[in-house]
């Protein structure tokens, strides 16, 4: 037997062990959250650490779902995340396509100007944006929280890079020579090839918006429009001693379910989207 295979085998085993340990480290907080959602508040941080679920699973979750307005807040989060995700994907794809495949006066300075907005903290824009919402009577409305968040320069950059690496100029020129209009080229040729990239962007945006706290906290005032992150933040009561863990942890677990489902069903497209623009076709 060739002994040269053993170093590579040992190296592969070492990589697998490190990857497994990393997975355990990253997964343990979620497991701890799930276990903590099934015990009494005073047992969450008991020592030794509980590794098995407790006996209050039904009690904790039934109270959360029937005695609070958490489901309404979760619905608001889904509305905010889904609608904003759709809007940003559409705007990011069209803007990225324009920057990648069309040459018009000032397109490079305009693209760099778009990227330069990343250097401006969103908190710095919160007050002028809120004043605009007041003028247009959009405070405490879904359009008020969704529309300003659609300006996403990262989405434009992501799709521009994906388009440059995925869509060949020769393909577009051939379609033009065959008499196809620009709208037909975009809808029938470009969009089908960009589905993996758009799916990857959609997953990233959905996760980001489901975790968003600051802007919904500023804009949405009504309890029936409050998103899940704000609802969970309000549950803490401001002090750790008063934190109702039997409500907070079940709420956190349920809030992660939509995100987990998106990753499960979009995993293949997500990976393809991240890799599709990494190698020149």
Q: What is the pLDDT of residues 31-87, one digit of tens each?
A: 888 888 888 877 777 788 777 787 888 888 998 888 888 999 999 999 999 999 999
Residues 6+ apart with CB under 8 A from 160: 95, 96, 97, 99, 100, 111
> What are the two backbone dihedrals, phi and then psi, of residue 29, each rounded to the nearest 5 degrees?
-60, -35
Chain centroid to CA 231: 19
Contacts of the segment 55-59: beta carbons below 8 A, 24+ positions apart: 56/246, 59/246
CA of 120: how far to CAs of 54, 106, 209, in Å? 46, 22, 19
Helix 107-116 to helix 153-166 angle (10° resolution) is: 130
Region 6-25 average pLDDT: 76
Look at residue 82 in the predicted model and tell me its pLDDT: 94
- How far apart, in whole angstroms, are the C-alpha atoms of residue 29 and residue 264? 19
Nearest by Cα to 95 from 140, 150, 145, 47: 150
pLDDT computed for residue 273 by the predictor = 65
Res 211 pLDDT > 70: yes
CATH of 68-276, one of 1.10.3720.10, 3.40.50.1370, 3.40.50.2300, 3.30.420.40: 1.10.3720.10
3-state secondary structure of 226: coil
Question: What is the pLDDT of the chain when averaged over all its residues?
Answer: 84
Task: Tell me: pLDDT of 193 over 60.
Answer: yes
Contacts of residue 151, defined as CB under 8 A and 6 or more positions apart, other chains included, come to 117
What are the tokens at 197? 């990239």
pLDDT tens string 106-117:
888 898 898 888
Token pair for 246: 């039997």
Stronger pLDDT, 272 or 71, i.e. the higher one: 71
pLDDT value at position 281? Answer: 46
């Amino acid at each position: 037997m060739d002994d040269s295979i053993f170093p590579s085998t040992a190296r592969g085993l070492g990589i697998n062990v490190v990857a497994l340990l990393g997975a355990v480290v990253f997964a343990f907080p979620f497991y701890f959250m799930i276990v903590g959602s099934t015990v009494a508040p005073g047992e969450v941080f008991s020592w030794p650490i509980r590794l098995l679920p407790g006996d209050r699973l039904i009690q904790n979750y039934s109270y959360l779902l029937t005695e609070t307005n958490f489901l309404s807040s979760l619905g608001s989060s889904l509305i905010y995340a889904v609608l904003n995700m759709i809007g940003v994907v559409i705007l990011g794809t069209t803007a990225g396509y324009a920057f990648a495949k069309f040459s018009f006066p000032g397109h490079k300075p305009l693209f760099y100007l778009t990227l330069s907005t990343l250097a401006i903290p969103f908190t710095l824009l919160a007050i002028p944006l809120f004043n605009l919402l007041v003028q247009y009577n959009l405070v405490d409305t879904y359009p008020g929280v969704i529309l300003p968040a659609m300006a996403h320069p990262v989405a434009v950059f992501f799709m521009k890079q994906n388009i440059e690496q995925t869509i060949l100029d020769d393909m577009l020129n051939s379609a033009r020579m065959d008499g196809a209009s620009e709208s037909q080229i975009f809808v029938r040729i470009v969009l089908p090839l960009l589905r993996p990239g758009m799916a990857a962007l959609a997953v990233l945006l959905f996760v980001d918006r489901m975790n968003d706290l600051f802007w919904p906290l500023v804009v949405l005032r009504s309890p029936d429009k409050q998103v899940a992150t704000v609802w969970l933040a309000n549950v803490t009561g401001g002090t750790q001693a008063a934190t109702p863990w039997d409500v907070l942890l079940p709420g956190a677990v349920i809030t992660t379910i939509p995100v987990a489902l998106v990753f499960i069903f979009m995993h293949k497209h997500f990976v393809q989207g991240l890799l599709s623009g990494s190698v020149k076709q």
